[in-house]
Amino acid sequence: MEREHSMNQRLVRLQAAESKIRPVTRTTLSDEIVDQIMGLIEKGDLRPGQRLPSERELCVRFGTGRSSLREALRCLSIIGVLHARVGEGTSVALDNGKFLGKLVQWRMTTERHDIENLMEVRIALEGLTAASVARNSTPDEIRQLKSVIERMKTALDDQKRFLELDVEFHLTMATASGNSLALDLITMVRGQLAKTLNRTLQLPNARPLTLEEHIEIMRRIEARDPDGARITMYKHLQAALDRYRKSEARLARPSAAKRIPKTLGSRRRRDGPAHNSNRRESAQEISLKQTLR
């Protein structure tokens, strides 16, 4: 009975969704189909895991050919909104985080973002996750975080390994927060910052300081102090931003030093030709005077 009732509910939802599909009229038919399907999902008429009608039925409902329909369904499958499997048809994806992830990843890839702006976004996100971990994490999750810190202690002389563990610590924190959206965003922001973070760890004492900051965050989490965890995470990431600025200044100094000999050399070259130029100008003046006479 329960199974039959569940099947009846799915059938009712499917029929409700089908009744709201209308023929498309715009020139870009596939765009119109995409908009309609997205609208049905947004309103709850199509739900995660729910199968769409067959291609033949959708073509009739939309009033369009199979090529336009397939193009629209393929686009939605690529970005993760729909899930298509041979022999099983097309359904609304269960993992909606994939959709958001691809959109944000596309924007991150195609637009230039200032490193400091990305760091500020990270500070805001990870401050919230640290507070959530202090409030809600399980003993097993705390053990995982402490395990990462113990491994960081043994990797202080290995920059590559230390960076890997630094990333693991923050992603484990985001996972323990229970906020899958925050995890997706933090993962993408860190991906954009990967090379920058690697440079900051080259500064003297950067790794020991990073380790100490992580240990302090863990103290606040174990004490179940959400505000303290948020503040210590903020201080840690603000310190990381300061280290980034120092690393950038450090990279700029050698290039400035290299330019000094070139500048001096060019000045010498300018001094030489300038003297000759003065002589030529004098000769020209003499010639002009003779002409005027």
Give the ranges where 44-179 is alpha helix by DSSP (H).
Answer: 55-62, 66-78, 96-110, 115-136, 139-153, 159-176
Same domain, 85 and 114: no
The pTM assigned to this predicted structure is 0.59
Give the pLDDT of the chain (293 residues) as one tens digit per residue: 656 656 666 665 656 666 667 676 555 788 899 999 999 988 888 888 899 999 999 999 999 899 999 999 998 888 788 988 877 789 998 876 566 666 666 665 655 557 788 888 889 999 999 999 999 999 999 999 999 999 999 999 999 999 999 999 999 999 999 988 888 888 878 777 777 778 788 888 999 999 999 999 999 999 999 999 999 999 999 999 888 888 888 777 755 445 545 444 444 444 444 444 444 445 544 443 454 44
> Rounded to an integer, what distance in angstroms lies between the CA atom of residue 286 and that of residue 293?
11
- The SS3 assignment for 51 reads strand
Residue 112 identity (one-letter amino acid): R
Q: Would 274 be classed as within a structural domain?
A: no
- Give the Cα separation of 162 and 156 in Å (integer): 6
For 124, 236, 239, the CA distances from 209, given in Å and listed in that order, are: 21, 9, 9
In this structure, the answer to whether residues 156 and 230 fall within a common structural domain is yes
**pLDDT on residue 217:** 97
Contacts of 104 (CB under 8 A, 6+ apart): 184, 185, 188
Task: Judge if 122 and 182 occupy the same domain.
Answer: yes
In a domain, 132, yes or no: yes
Task: Say whether both 87 and 146 belong to one domain.
Answer: no
pLDDT at 109: 60
The CATH number for 135's domain is 1.20.120.530
Give the number of domains in the chain: 2
Phi-psi region of 90 (alpha: psi -120 to 50; beta: other; left: phi over 0): beta
User: What's the CA gap between 41 and 49, in Å, rounded?
Assistant: 11
Assign 9 to helix, strand or coil.
Answer: helix
Range of the domain at 79: 2-94
160 and 243 co-located in one domain: yes
Residue 19 within any structural domain of the chain = yes
